[in-house]
Amino acid sequence: MIVVPSRATVDQYNQLKQQIDEAVGRINGKYNTLRWTPIHYFYRALPFHTLAAVYYMADVALVTPFRDGMNLIAKEYIASKTDQTGVLILSEMAGAAKELIEAVQVNPDDIHDIVRALHKALTMPQQEQIARNAAMQQTLKRYNVTRWSEVFMTRLQEAHQATDKIKRKRFSEEILAEIVNAYNESDKRLFLLDYDGTLVDFQDDPQKVSPDEYLVNLLRKLSDQPENNVVVISGRDKDTLERWLGHLNIGIVAEHGVWSREPGDEWVQADFIDQEWKAELKPILEFFVDRTPGSFIEVKDFSLVWHYRKADQGLAEVRKHELIDTLAQYTSSMRLQILEGNKVIEVKNAGINKGHASVRWIEKVGKGCFALAAGDDFTDEDIFKALAPYPNIFTLKVGTNLTAAKYNLSSNRDVLRTLHVLSEQQRVTSNYQSA
Ligand SMILES: [Mg+2]
């Protein structure tokens, strides 16, 4: 059974069709005997009972879409196998691949993988075929249309409730006014600002988002006020942050807290860092890069990062879960943690996170200070959680995901606008300072 790749254009499709027609003609011409035709080629729809009979007869079904949602061919093949023999080879990109885990799964982009799978299928002992198909038939029976619709309705309800929750936390003019008030009433203030996705928008190339003049001026204006402590707290490496922001009078935290630097000071490294795990895990990430075109590895001082923003998103989603599963086996024994960021998976030493770095800053500026923290991804949740017990805190999450932050902002422009409004406030010129 051949399934035409769904991303083919009409021309490619016609060309492929012609190639298949010719190949079938060539093979049948060469190997046909009076009693046997090697390839039965049906380029038309078959009535369902005929189709079921063909499924039943087929020793192997090869279903290799690059992407699809619900693959009925794979399911129908398994359901038709009343004697439970036969082998299903299924693309790992098929929606059904997550349910039919006993199928021989292949990467549809890798022709050698498909050849290996065909060989495995043709030499598979009957006992194993029966065991695999019996398990898949059980799955299909259990996950019938009633069950499917129940799950769907429950998920829909959950999504609705989640949206409701986010709506209640949505950033508004009233909240901005509240922040401005708290800001004006405090003479000790702390800003903890994530960089990517929070102060700047995302780009395909992570090196291309250096701060523009507007952002530099905004940070300068905020940090010029002696009451303010501005800290950029990022997952990025320290050299990049130094190059972009080092000239400003702000604190910088790099690699989620591995490195930090007070305004105008030297970089200080967090203690206790073991690095040997990097050499051990890098080949695993490289293996995933080989199998996920467009993804790449970034080696930071104390972490390894797999970037998949430029990869095909369908494939990357599949690979991401595989990678997390694979890494989880190592990280539990190696005191490492896996962070899932925005189109990145990062592995780093446990115990270092933005939350710890935030707490150090807030203790330094003083409990009860006005603090505003903004971030957009999973790693920023550590900040939001760590700050929650402190008073006078405003935590802002860019994006509409569920979050530990107090408020959800629809885009990073809301962060910039809030910072702009605060930077325009008059200085606290209270008399007691001179008294
Ligand atoms: Mg970010």
Note the pLDDT tens digit of each residue in 139-190.
Answer: 888 888 888 898 889 999 988 888 887 777 889 999 999 999 999 999 999 9
The one catalytic residue in 59, 110, 194, 380 is 194
Catalytic status, residue 301: no
pLDDT of residue 367: 83
Amino acid at 391: P
- Give, as one character, the DSSP assignment of residue 13: H
Assess contact for 78 and 89: CB atoms under 8 A: no
pLDDT of residue 143: 81
Distance 398 CA to ligand 1 centre (A): 9
The average pLDDT across 407-421 equals 94
Distance 375 CA to ligand 1 centre (A): 6
Distance 118 CA to ligand 1 centre (A): 44
pLDDT of residue 308: 93
Reading the block at residue 29, the tokens are 């011409």
- For CATH 3.40.50.1000, the residue range(s) in the chain are 164-270+352-425
CATH class of 277-349: alpha beta
Whole-angstrom CA distances from 344 to 121, 225, 237, 295 are 36, 35, 14, 9
**DSSP string across 361-384:** HHHHH-TT-EEEEEE-SHHHHHHH
- For CATH 3.30.70.1020, the residue range(s) in the chain are 277-349
Considering the entire predicted model, what is its pTM?
0.63
- For CATH 3.40.50.2000, the residue range(s) in the chain are 45-143
Between the ranges 200-204, 229-233, 339-343, where is the mean pLDDT highest? 229-233
Distance 346 CA to ligand 1 centre (A): 13
User: Closest Cα to residue 357, out of 387, 377, 325, 329?
Assistant: 387
Looking at 2.170.120.20, 3.20.20.70, 3.40.630.10, 3.40.50.1000, the CATH number of the domain 164-270+352-425 comes to 3.40.50.1000
| Confidence at 428, pLDDT banded by 50, 70, 90 | low
Reading the block at residue 48, the tokens are 């369902």
Q: Does domain 45-143 have CATH number 2.60.40.420?
A: no
